Chains A and B, each alone.
Chain A
Amino acid sequence: MRVQIEHQFFGTRLGMMLVFAITAFSLLALRLYYLQGIQGSHFRDLSENNRTRTVRTAPPRGTIYDRNRELLVRNRPEFNVALLLEDIPNLQLTLETLAEITGHSVEAFKASLKHNRYSRPFEPKVVMADITWAELARIKGQMYRLPGVIVEVSPTRAYPHNSLGVQLFGYTREISKAQLAKRKADYSMGDMVGQTGLESSYEGALRGRSGYRRVEVDARGNRRSELGLVDSIPGKDLILTIDVDLQRAAEFALGEEKGAVVAIDPRNGEVLALVSKPTFDANIFSGEIRKADWNAVATDKQHPLYNRAIGSAYAPASTFKLIMAIAGLAEKKITPQTTFFCPGFFHFAGRNYGCHKKTGHGTVDLQAAITMSCDVYFYSLGQLLGINKIHDYGYLFGLGQKLGIDLEGERAGTLPSEKWKLSHLGQRWYPGETLSVAIGQGFLSTTPLQMAVSIAALANGGSIYKPMLVKEIIDTQTGEKSITEPKLETKIDLPAEIFQRIKEDAISVVNDPRGTGRKAIIPGVTVGGKTGTAQVVSLGKESLGKHLNDHAWFIAFAPAENPTIALAVIVENGGHGGARAAPVSHAVMSVYFRKLGMLTEEQQLGPVFPPGFKHVVETPQALAAEEEGLSD
């Protein structure tokens, strides 16, 4: 390096600075040589032997309890065998030893390692997930032969009630890349995240915050000391409005059928049971989910993952007649004394619309029409009201809209009107279609949740509450509670006499000898309700194969004087509502009122659960009702 100074501006001082700079750079180079050359192997040892790892500690997820603090979803420890590749001197040897101890194959371990290849360097790679206690004991005993092999413990979900409420609670799985991109903050690969149900909608409360541990380990992966610790913050606990006994009773009563049950407290909108069948054992989601298990559930033609209670819309059939009756009274198209003659069919526009009773009900007033579910009466009423009025009253009672329950996948169903048909189908409304809607068929479809909310609104005199699933969120660290207040969405502004009148008619559906809902009778408690039989195909009643049978509906409330429970039951392809859905209502309400101590010892006829549902239905009244051969 030669710097030729061609001027005298700086005197010799530039040269002095040059010497200074050369000296300084040389000192840096010498120091680097000292550190990396002379002391290099010493520092290399230090870096190898003093590897400090920052280990994230997953926060325990919040626990989910029912309204009486019974455990619904909890955590259990999951033991995983993981490899710290950087600490394993001879991978093949270690894998062979591990295979010998556990009885797994080396190839399987290698496959898991390959699957893991995107994890961070110096992070343990899991090769065996959720090992049993026996395996744990065997591996722990042989640890001295397994350098770089560690057993990690992490919390995973466990479901003490197996298949109970599986669609309601939802499940957690490892966060996907797409989800990770969406919720950056505080999440990283390998984290569990709620995917469906309450686990998803209350992810924020349930999850908690990750902690960090700074662990110093030596080159063999042995822990030497912990340098720093930030504790993880456990997730918050949820206290649901669900009563596990009612949930169990409803699931048991539905048995092998497909269907749904929603039970609500009409006083505040608390959901007491939210059941969808078929179900499956949620414990397949606990720990490592096996591919075969997942495929079996995900590809099942009966769609067990699907929450029918909120996500399936069915024709409400005759259960809709209660709202029709209210509309008729409120619009003064009829009075309770108004009668229509039912010859078994209704003639309109050159066509006969049949009543389910082909021989006809004769002359019927409102109470008789509801009790026996006379179609001709409601064809006439539907014609008087017109489709737009029917739509308006349906909407008042929460149909055709999402009710805002804290679950993904809620559907609005269809509440038709002239405007709806024009905008959705581009066609004008035909008066004949009004007749179908008047008996709850045609374009009309509702979810079980909507029917439960509407019957609750009838029971409580017109209040529509937002359906509530979580009563309290409890911070277990601070003891802080956040209590959900009931939310009154709308108050249906109609005269109280109308509600009273229709409630009495609903009571006679269950209690009148001619009533279609007699299987829902609870001795000692006045139950009101309405049956429904939704046609799947509009053919005769010949046996057509199970999947084409009618859907059975039943909606009910009790005790009639001061209702504290309202429910909606649907049994897919179950046939008659009175025969197949009303007994489910009976089962749920029996358990409910027995818990309240409102049934005497004799009336209970032994324990309701177990030994089984059959036992419950066979009350003398129910048997008697069955004998009468119901139809609606």
Chain B
Amino acid sequence: MRTRGLDRRILGNFDWKMLLALLSICGVSLVTLYSAGFNADLQSSPQMRKQAIAMGVGTIAFVFCSLVNTNFWRRWCWVLFGIGCCALMILDFAGIVAKGSRRWLELGPYFRLQPSEFTKIALVLVLARIFGSEDAPKDGYSLKQLLVPLMLVCLPVVLVALQPDLGTALTHLLIAISMIFVAGVRLGTVVRLGFLGLASAYPLWMVLHDYQRKRIITFLAPETDPLGSGYHAIQSQIAVGSGTFFGKGFLQGTQTQLRFLPEQTTDFIFSVLAEEWGFVGSILVLALYAFLLYRAFSASARCKDRFPAFVCFGVSMMLFWHVIINIGMVIGVVPVVGITLPLLSYGGSSVVAFMSAFGLVAGISMRRYFFA
């Protein structure tokens, strides 16, 4: 394998529509964040400025990742994965406590990083490397063959769950399961894995934190706790529903401006959008995500090589699960789990991670006629 320099011809295949869709979501994010973080005393929204900076960095990361040759990622994915897991371990043992969990790596006074946003990409690369090898079993993986990848998946999942950040651990797991499914698994393996999952449910329930258990119970029966965890779910639905078709208008959302929604700049940003911009705004954003998903899918489908096909699929799943779980939570079809809405939620690490991931896809898609 050899890395080759950038060929000018491939720029002609650059997926401008994808970049446009990404930047559109960023624009929606800035408008929504301005409203969600609006501080009447300061007549401004400090979080919006920080987010704009993160988006600038993200765009640079997007361009960088799309310019790097696919072979580079194939060769270095293990190193990236190793660095990511090391960062998670450092956090677990020496991380700072912020909002009760150790999620952020302090890098200087103005900059902190949430490594778990990036380990998702590393996990996608590593799994693509394994499933993308030419000697993959034609008739699907057996449990024994899956042993190594499963252990690799468990490493970041457990480390993130220990922070404790259940939502992000869950997205790691779902991305991995999707990739394993697409790679092909024997029927017997599926059955055995199912039993294993059920058997591990009880010990898992025991290690969950009280608030996490409460959330699951509240999801199953929200009326049990109308002023506690269920309160958030109910108020979020009121916010979304009260937006009706055309929304209440910019800065006019009562639920938002009364600071009634929990985490309204991060996990619950979609309820702000839905309240102020209504069904029209919500569907538009949903359509933008669907479009991104479609571009990643089609990039995967058109690859001539196994590794990049898996990478594109992994990134599409990363987007898919984040969107489904986050919006599902906001509109009350999924339990309240703290994960970001890609590019919309406030949070620099998440923005840069998603832009980088789509940079990978853009790079792969414009090189699809060239063989490594």
Residues of A within 8 A of B (CB): 1, 3-7, 9-11, 13-14, 17-18, 21, 24-25, 27-29, 31-33, 35-37, 39-44, 46-48, 50-54, 86, 118-123, 180, 188-189, 227
Contact = CB atoms under 8 A, between A and B. Distances in A.
Contacts of B257: 120-122
A441 to B, nearest CB: 53
Given A17-B181, A25-B290, A32 B302 contact: no
B184 A11 contact: yes
A6 B258 contact: no
B258 A52 contact: yes
B205 interface: no
Interface in B273-309: 274, 278-279, 282-283, 286, 289-290, 293-294, 297-298, 300-304, 306, 309
Nearest to B131: A9
Interface in B118-141: 132
Contacts of B332: 31
A14 B313 contact: yes
A32 B254 contact: no
Contacts of A11: 184
B328 interface: yes
Contacts of B244: 36-37, 40-41, 43-44
Contacts of B227: 227
Closest 3 CB pairs of A and B: A43-B241, A40-B244, A47-B242
B330 to A, nearest CB: 10
A51 B294 contact: no
Given A1-B294, A42-B241, A188-B41, A52 B182 contact: no
Given A6-B304, A32-B283, 19 more contacts: A3-B298, A7-B303, A10-B184, A10-B309, A24-B320, A25-B286, A25-B289, A25-B290, A28-B286, A28-B331, A31-B331, A35-B237, A37-B245, A40-B243, A43-B242, A46-B241, A47-B255, A119-B40, A122-B254
Contacts of A24: 320, 324
B91 interface: no
Contacts of B50: none
B238 interface: yes
B324 A47 contact: no
A88 to B, nearest CB: 15
Contacts, number: 146
Given A32-B274, A36-B240, A119-B40, A6 B297 contact: no
Given A9-B306, A118-B43, A50 B245 contact: no
13 contacts: A7-B301, A7-B303, A13-B184, A14-B300, A17-B178, A25-B286, A28-B286, A28-B331, A29-B286, A31-B332, A43-B242, A48-B242, A121-B251
A118 B240 contact: no
Interface of B: 40-41, 43, 132, 178, 181-184, 227, 237-245, 251-252, 254-255, 257-260, 274, 278-279, 282-283, 286, 289-290, 293-294, 297-298, 300-304, 306, 309-310, 313, 317, 320, 324, 327-328, 331-333
Contact of A21 (B283, B293, B304): B293
A14 B297 CA distance: 8
Contact of B260 (A6, A18, A52): A52
A3 B182 contact: no
A554 B333 CA distance: 84
A47 B241 CA distance: 9
Given A3-B297, A7-B303, A35-B240, A53 B258 contact: yes
| Residue among A10, A36, A86 having the largest count of chain B Cβ atoms under 10 Å | A36
A40 B282 CA distance: 13
A99 to B, nearest CB: 28
Given A7-B303, A9-B309, A36 B258 contact: no
Contacts of B302: 4, 6-7
A35 B41 contact: no
A18 B299 CA distance: 13
Nearest to A51: B254
A583 B139 CA distance: 113
A14 B302 CA distance: 12
Contacts of A21: 293, 297, 320
A1 B295 CA distance: 10
B40 A31 contact: no
Contacts of B283: 29, 32
A52 B255 CA distance: 8
